[in-house]
């Protein structure tokens, strides 16, 4: 444990994250409420991307359906809230529902690998989306589900919730990725047979990674809908949202956890800054992301670390 | 009456699915690339045909050929701008090339889709049928174009089969899918083989896109859905297996048509998706795939 702690303090990534977090804390005194609102969404996206990175970067499993887990959490929270449950209970239920969904999906899916695993997760999203639309009388269908409660009406309070949640999740996920469990995951991702020959139970570790990824995705999904005030297919389930999460994680630099959060903030801010371009903004953002993965395969975080000679 | 209708509609839709999926699976089998810009390639072909037919008032056949050409150009652009740079990149470890190609082609597909939507809006584009008119089959009024689509799809698939199994170039492709290293030892240039595959892929995706536009209409908003359906058909049939893809295309095509006619169009894709989940859990290598 002390080794892990020393490792954490010695890592340049942690210092970058601390400086960044300190800068983000001062923002409410410097920028308008509008920008705070955009950043709030970006932070929840950051948690989505970090949980995705735990699964992809470390376990080397491509999850094409992060929104299945996010959607399970968001809709479980939303439906409970519609029946009058308090916010805290809905959040816990959201995390639990995503965990349940994750286990149901992962237990059979982890027997598959590569493109097959990716497709199984993609199909899960498509099915969830179909069911939400088909049972529109309960779920609100395409229009969405209006929440009875929201986290707060104050932009600054919402900002603190999101920033606090992202920092806490980032800390847990990062510590986990640097712990022995993270190393075993990495080993099993790079050489499945080699790692199992060393006596590690690969499936158990990958399942654990999937469950942790699910809990954080679900919680973040539930918090996001309580911030937005509605749960709709377009914001938490659609494949396009999942694609954005993946782009954010790869853009920020895979296998870094913190990079995923930076990638999300960059992606959402870039989308906002390019809003004057209208329809072309998605084109430009995808173009930038494509250039980054073509020329800087390690992403933004890789760029930051390499320049200082620390790999 | 209804049974005949389902048989005919299902046959045409399945043939179209099959043609779209064959190129996708051939590409994976020979070069190991899953092209997630597949739907976008089909949409480019469809929209080009629509522009040529509409703005230049061209003959539908000319428009169809222009659309197919656009499909080939898009395929080459995908290869030269996205896939080849990633395959040759030194900073991407070999174990992660696959996921980088997936992400890269995904982004490229979104770019194409957005560009098409920007210039030509994302309204569905319908191209004039290649042959107009309807005929009666077993008491069902059927557009001749629907039959023509099935005929064209099967002719193209037949030609592809001849090319792969009966020509020298085709045997090289087959060899590349089985053992690329041995092929290079025999003095064949792998990059040439890959270029051929991308050309064939472009023709197949282009024709499929144009036919789709004459049948159901194509819109840039459908691009990811088209990719997803090709991907699932290919996995259902077994990655890299052409006959498996054709079988899967018919299973999915008829399942969707049956659901749409007998239950409700709203549930159209659900049974096929559930079947897909069951098959990948029970038989991960697909119906006819090799391990």
- Residue A72 has a pLDDT of 93
ipTM score of the complex? 0.81
Question: What are B154-186's pLDDT values in tens digits?
Answer: 999 999 999 988 888 888 888 888 888 888 899
% of chain A beyond a pLDDT of 70: 94
Question: What are B90-134's pLDDT values in tens digits?
Answer: 777 777 788 788 888 988 998 999 899 999 888 888 888 888 778
Pick the residue from chain B with its C-alpha nearest to A287: B111
Report the number of distinct structural domains present in chain B: 1
Average pLDDT along chain B: 87
Judged by a CB distance cut-off of 8 A, whether residue A62 touches chain B is: yes
- Greater confidence (A91 vs A2) lies with A91
Q: Which residues of A touch B232 (CB under 8 A)?
A: 119, 123
Is residue A309 pLDDT above 70, yes or no? no
Residue A278 belongs to some domain of the structure: no
Q: Taking CB atoms and an 8 Å limit, are B114 and A290 in contact across chains?
A: no
Residue with tokens 């809908």: A225
Residue B135 β-bridge partners: B142
SS3 of B280, please? helix
pTM: 0.84
Q: Taking CB atoms and an 8 Å limit, are A130 and B100 in contact across chains?
A: no
- Residue B64 has a pLDDT of 92
Q: Residue B136: enclosing H or E segment and its boundaries?
A: strand B134-137
Residue A9: band (very low, low, confident or very high) from pLDDT cuts 50, 70, 90: low
Q: Taking CB atoms and an 8 Å limit, are B224 and A134 in contact across chains?
A: no
> Which of B85, B118, B224 faces A280 most closely, judged by CB atoms?
B118
Is residue B188 pLDDT above 50, yes or no? yes
Residue A19 belongs to some domain of the structure: no
Residue A189 belongs to some domain of the structure: yes
One DSSP character per residue, A108-122 reads HHTTS-THHHHHHHH
The whole-angstrom separation of Cα B283 and Cα A87 is: 43
Is residue A302 pLDDT above 80, yes or no? no
Residue B197 belongs to some domain of the structure: yes
- Greater confidence (A10 vs B83) lies with B83
Average pLDDT along chain A: 84
Q: Which residues of B touch A279 (CB under 8 A)?
A: 114, 117-118
Pick the residue from chain B with its C-alpha nearest to A279: B118
Residue A295 tokens, joined = 């020329």
Q: Taking CB atoms and an 8 Å limit, are B114 and A280 in contact across chains?
A: yes
Task: Give backbone dihedrals phi and psi of B198, rounded to 5 degrees, phi first.
Answer: -65, -35
Out of A121-125, A188-192, A220-224, least confident range? A188-192
The whole-angstrom separation of Cα B43 and Cα B56 is: 19
Q: Which residues of B touch A127 (CB under 8 A)?
A: 270, 273-274, 277
Nearest to A64 by CA among A55, A72, A73: A55
Q: Taking CB atoms and an 8 Å limit, are A286 and B104 in contact across chains?
A: no
Question: What are A140-176's pLDDT values in tens digits?
Answer: 877 788 888 888 888 888 999 999 999 999 999 988 8
Report the number of distinct structural domains present in chain A: 1
Domain extent for A168: 36-238
Residue A295 belongs to some domain of the structure: no
- Residue B78 has a pLDDT of 95
The whole-angstrom separation of Cα B19 and Cα B202 is: 12
Task: Give backbone dihedrals phi and psi of A135, rounded to 5 degrees, phi first.
Answer: -90, 50
Residue B123 tokens, joined = 């309204």
Domain extent for B58: 2-221
Question: What are B38-58's pLDDT values in tens digits?
Answer: 999 999 999 999 999 888 877
- Greater confidence (B139 vs A242) lies with A242
Task: Give backbone dihedrals phi and psi of B74, rounded to 5 degrees, phi first.
Answer: -60, -40
Q: Residue A65: enclosing H or E segment and its boundaries?
A: none
Residue A114 belongs to some domain of the structure: yes
Residue A261 belongs to some domain of the structure: no
One DSSP character per residue, A226-245 reads HHHSEE-HHHHTSHHHHHHH
Q: Taking CB atoms and an 8 Å limit, are A240 and B224 in contact across chains?
A: yes
Question: What are A169-187's pLDDT values in tens digits?
Answer: 999 998 888 888 888 888 8
Residue B287 belongs to some domain of the structure: no
Residue B260 belongs to some domain of the structure: no
Q: Taking CB atoms and an 8 Å limit, are B228 and A122 in contact across chains?
A: yes
- Residue A270 has a pLDDT of 87
- Residue B155 has a pLDDT of 94
Residue A168 belongs to some domain of the structure: yes
């Amino acid at each position: 444990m002390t080794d892990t702690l020393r490792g954490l303090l010695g890592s340049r990534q942690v210092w970058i994250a601390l400086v960044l977090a300190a800068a983000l804390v001062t923002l409410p005194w410097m920028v308008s409420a509008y920008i705070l609102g955009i950043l709030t969404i970006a932070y929840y996206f950051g948690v989505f991307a970090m949980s995705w990175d735990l699964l992809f970067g470390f376990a080397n499993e491509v999850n094409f359906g992060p929104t299945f887990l996010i959607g399970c959490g968001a809709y479980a929270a939303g439906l409970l809230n519609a029946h009058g449950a308090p916010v805290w209970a809905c959040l816990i239920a959201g995390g639990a529902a995503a965990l349940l969904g994750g286990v149901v999906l992962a237990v059979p899916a982890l027997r598959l690998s590569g493109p097959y695993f990716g497709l199984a997760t993609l199909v899960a999203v498509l099915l969830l989306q179909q069911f939400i639309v088909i049972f529109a009388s309960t779920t609100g269908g395409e229009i969405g589900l209006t929440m009875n409660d929201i986290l707060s009406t104050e932009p600054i309070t919402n900002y603190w919730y999101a920033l606090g949640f992202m920092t806490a999740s980032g800390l847990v996920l990062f510590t986990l990725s640097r712990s022995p469990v993270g190393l075993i995951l990495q080993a099993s991702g790079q050489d499945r047979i080699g790692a199992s020959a060393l006596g590690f139970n690969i499936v158990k570790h990958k399942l654990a990674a999937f469950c942790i990824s699910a809990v954080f995705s679900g919680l973040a999904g539930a918090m996001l809908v309580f911030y937005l005030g509605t749960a709709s297919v377009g914001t938490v389930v659609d494949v396009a949202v999942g694609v954005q999460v993946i782009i954010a994680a790869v853009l920020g630099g895979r296998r870094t956890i913190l990079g995923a959060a930076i990638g999300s903030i960059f992606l959402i801010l870039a989308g906002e800054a390019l809003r004057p371009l209208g329809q072309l903004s998605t084109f430009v953002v995808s173009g930038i992301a494509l250039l980054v993965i073509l020329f800087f395969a390690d992403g933004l975080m890789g760029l930051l670390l390499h320049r200082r000679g620390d790999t | 009456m209804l049974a005949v209708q389902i048989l005919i509609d299902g046959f045409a839709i399945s043939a179209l699915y099959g043609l779209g999926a064959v190129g996708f699976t051939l590409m994976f089998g020979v070069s190991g690339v899953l092209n997630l810009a597949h739907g976008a390639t089909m949409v480019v072909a469809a929209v080009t045909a629509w522009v040529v037919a509409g703005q230049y008032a061209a003959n539908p056949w000319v428009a169809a050929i222009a659309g197919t050409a656009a499909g080939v150009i898009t395929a080459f652009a995908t290869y030269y701008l996205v896939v080849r740079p990633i395959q040759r990149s030194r900073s991407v470890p070999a174990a992660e090339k696959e996921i980088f190609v997936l992400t890269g082609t995904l982004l490229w597909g979104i770019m194409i889709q957005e560009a098409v939507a920007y210039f030509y809006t994302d309204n569905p584009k319908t191209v004039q049928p290649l042959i107009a008119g309807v005929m009666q089959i077993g008491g069902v009024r059927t557009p001749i174009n629907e039959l023509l689509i099935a005929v064209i799809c099967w002719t193209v698939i037949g030609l592809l089969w001849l090319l792969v199994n009966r020509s020298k170039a085709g045997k090289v492709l087959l060899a590349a899918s089985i053992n690329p290293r041995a092929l290079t030892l025999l003095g064949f240039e792998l990059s040439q083989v890959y270029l051929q595959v991308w050309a064939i892929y472009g023709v197949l995706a282009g024709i499929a896109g144009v036919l789709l536009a004459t049948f159901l209409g194509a819109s840039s908003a459908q691009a990811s859905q088209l990719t997803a359906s090709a991907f699932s058909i290919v996995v259902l049939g077994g990655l890299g297996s052409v006959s498996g893809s054709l079988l899967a295309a018919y299973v999915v095509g008829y399942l969707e048509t049956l659901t749409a006619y007998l239950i409700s169009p709203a549930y159209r894709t659900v049974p096929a998706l559930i079947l897909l989940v069951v098959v990948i859990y029970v038989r991960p290598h697909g119906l006819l795939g090799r391990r």
